[in-house]
Amino acid sequence: MLEIGLKYEAKTTVGAGNTASAMGSGDMDVFATPAMVALMEHAAMLAVAAELPEGSTTVGASMNTTHVRPSGPGAVVTALAELVEAEGRRLTFRVVAFDGGVLIGEGTHVRYIVDRTKFLSKL
């Protein structure tokens, strides 16, 4: 059983490749919502990665989030994920994102523990 409270912080800098206009989620050069969600997922994945059984990983299953403030080119965005619930293979994380000290997004993310080989055999 994974320990509740496991955390990880992931960072990225807003650049040409992760803006809404570049990713097709909007037409402005601001940090894209899909990029924020990916950063949150990355933080959640790494929060528990070192504690998983050999041959296992986690996969994202759902994300319920808000993106409430824009971040422009050059901004450093930090996502923090904390494991708040573990029920068997189902892991629930509280996720938040900040630009500097200002909250830009928050939500809940669910991941499942899977065996890599079994999961990939379903392709």
3-state secondary structure of 76: strand
Q: Which of 12, 19, 58, 67 is catalytic?
A: 67
Helical (H) or strand (E) element with 35: helix 33-48
| Choice among 41, 58, 82, 109 that is catalytic | 41
User: Is 85 considered catalytic here?
Assistant: no
Would you call 33 a catalytic residue per the annotation?
A: yes
Chain-centre distance of CA 85, in angstroms? 16
Asked if 41 is an active-site residue, the reply is yes
Which residue, among 114, 77, 107, has the nearest Cα to 92 in the 3D structure? 107
Strands of the sheet with 90-99, listed across from one edge: 7-13, 76-87, 90-99, 102-115, 56-67
Q: Which residues are catalytic?
A: 33, 41, 67
